[in-house]
Amino acid sequence: MPRAYNPSAADRSIFDALLEAREKWGGKRPILEDHERRVLTYTDLIRAAFALGRKIADVTEKGERVAVLLPTGVGSTVVFYALHAYGRVPVMLNFSAGIRNVRAACKTAGVKRVLTARKFVELGKLEDLTDALEIRYEITWLEDVRAKIGLFDKIGAAIADKAPRRFRIETKPSDPGVILFTSGSYGAPKGVMLTQGGMLANCDQVAAAIDLNPDWVFFNPLPVFHAFGLVAGVLLPILYGLKAFNYPSPLHVKVIPSLLKEVGASVLLATDTFVTQYARNSEGDELSGLEFIVCGAERVRDETHDLIARQFGGVPVIEGYGATECSPVVAVNTPIDNRRGTVGGLLPGMEARLETIEGITEGAKLLVRGPNIMAGYLAEDGTLEPPGAWYDTGDVVTMTDDNWITIRGRVKRFAKIAGEMVSLTAAETLASQVWPESRHAVIAMPDARKGERLVLITDRFDASVAKLLEHAQASGASELSVPRKIVKAPEIPVLGTGKTDYVAVQRIAEADVAKAA
């Protein structure tokens, strides 16, 4: 059974939480591995954090915000804890966001230095990005830092490891734990400061909802610049005695299925988009050994549930829900209570309030509060804008009496057509029901006669309005939810996290309109 939620989990620093985990599970316990098959124990991780952190501390100041440009792996995890060991604040950069957004992130966060690795930059072909950053910021290559770690530094790290609370820089639970940037699905990414206590609280909230077995292996291919990948994929397993296997990219859909079986993965973190691709690229029973799959960031389609159940012996796909601003998990289904179509039950320690929206008849806007809510947004000048008493998720939901949540859409993802509020999410679901093997996105565009109209962007090249109308009539769906304009695209653009990139989708639709004009 899951254990009770412990509010005191938030009353410590991130580095002290790592030390406590070692005390509980033992220093020799392997808790971290990556695609290069580097395996670290608790003691290995703590000593590496002290050794690397001391070198970074030599060129930074206490409390300084330090940018991290690295993929998911042992290296990025060591860097994260190294910064915390010496009281620095990690700023995780989204290297897939483009030069303009990354430079804006650095400016907003007020960083002076970017930590990265030559090997990663070369493999990722990110030379243009680092060249652009180097104009304004100091680039610190981790290969150079590690080359300077000599025998004296290693001895020093071993000594620090013997009395870690004496040598680490003390920080408070209310101090910054990380600065992340929202996905930018609908606009420019926003800087979010999460506190150390808030991140730890969210880990304990999840552990109170799902019975975590310390023998499990978490397989995390999601980026550490995303809250789901960092908190659920790195911090959660390490703090609760589970081994975290970190993989640098969810896009390697032909490699990941066989690797899941090879490393004995128990839990896979992913999105609906990637899970579908892993299943289709599996040549056998590679996913059958999983205890369950956790999906977030986008809706899990019925077709995905059915595909996994049919192909891999009923491995549960449990859907959760969160936001960067919530550290990130708000609700999650569980292996023993997995209600398809919902995003799960509200986590313990959280409260919810529903606010009616004029014109929307099904559902209301969700506001939440709890110990995991962010410290605030970063303004363009780097100052912190604290949240109000309640965090406005911007999502329209329905809730059961036992606080199980179903997402009906986002407030900004409704269109007003002929005076009626129509969910764009519902329109996408309609298209998915007609063509389940394809990917779809629906946006709203101005319409002189009806106010707005729905446009379907799809990779299904034989998609037709007639088929959508036929299905809507047969299923009893409102015909207002049927897009009357279809734009065919080779693929639906997605962000590095797997979410649909609606900014790029909008550009595709606008380009089609301009072409037809």
Count, residues in the chain: 517
Structural domain includes residue 25: yes
Domain boundary among 130, 165, 187: 187
Closest CA to 244 of 38, 401, 450: 38
Whether the pLDDT of residue 184 is over 70: the answer is no
Exposure of 307 in the CB half-sphere (CA atoms within 13 A)? 20
183 pLDDT tier (thresholds 50, 70, 90): low
Contacts of 98 (CB under 8 A, 6+ apart): none
d(CA 274, CA 221) in angstroms, rounded, equals 10
**Distance of CA 275 to CAs 112, 374, 379, Å?**
38, 29, 36
Q: Domain count for the chain, please give it.
A: 2
Q: Is residue 153 part of a domain?
A: yes
Q: Helix H segments across 163-271?
A: 164-167, 196-209, 227, 236-239, 256-262
**Average pLDDT of the segment spanning 379-402:** 89
Q: Can you tell me whether residue 356 is helix, strand or coil?
A: coil
Assess contact for 345 and 337: CB atoms under 8 A: yes
- As a whole number, mean pLDDT of residues 238-258 equals 94
Using CA atoms, how far residue 116 sits from 113, 137, 175, 246, in Å, is 10, 12, 24, 17
Between 3 and 221, the higher pLDDT residue? 221
Confidence check: pLDDT of 166 > 70: yes
Would residue 398 count as lying in a domain? no
- Give residue 2's pLDDT band: very low, low, confident or very high (50, 70, 90): low
The answer to whether the CB of 29 falls within 8 A of the CB of 46 is no
pLDDT digits (tens, 9 = 90+) for 284-339: 888 889 999 999 888 888 888 998 988 888 899 999 999 999 999 999 999 999 99
Is 102:496 a contact under the CB 8 Å cutoff?
no
Q: What is the mean pLDDT of residues 4-30?
A: 93
The pTM assigned to this predicted structure is 0.86
Nearest-angstrom CA–CA distance, 251 and 257: 12
Q: For 492-496, which contacts have Cβ atoms below 8 Å and span 24 or more sequence positions?
A: 492/439, 492/440, 492/441, 492/457, 492/458, 492/459, 494/273, 495/96, 495/183, 495/184, 495/185, 496/94, 496/95, 496/96, 496/97, 496/223, 496/225, 496/226
- Maximum C-alpha span of the chain: 75
Tell which of 187, 202, 219 closes a domain. Answer: 187
Question: How distant is the alpha carbon of residue 214 from its chain centre?
Answer: 23
Of 224, 223, 188, 222, nearest in space to 100 by CA: 188
Residue 261 lies in a domain: no
Residue 139 located in a structural domain: yes
CA dist., res. 237 & res. 245, Å (int): 10
Query: Is residue 186 predicted with pLDDT exceeding 60?
Result: no
Residue 394 lies in a domain: no
Please indicate, yes or no, if residue 253 is contained in any of the structural domains. no
| Domain containing residue 175 | 7-187
Q: What is the 3-state secondary structure (H, E, C) of 17-39?
A: HHHHHHHHHCCCCEEEEECCCCE
Does the pLDDT at position 223 exceed 60? yes
Q: At 131, which CATH number?
A: 3.40.50.12780
Quick one: which of 75, 38, 70, 49 has its CA closest to 149? Answer: 49
> Which is it for the CA torsion 224, 504, 329, 379, positive or negative?
positive
Quote the DSSP letter at residue 229: I
Residue with tokens 């973190």: 269
Q: Residue 508 belongs to a domain with what CATH number? A: 3.30.300.30
Distance CA 396, CA 56 (A): 44
Average pLDDT for residues 425-448, to the nearest whole number?
84
Q: Is the pLDDT assigned to residue 3 strictly greater than 70? A: no
In a domain, 38, yes or no: yes
Last residue in a domain, options 187, 202, 232? 187
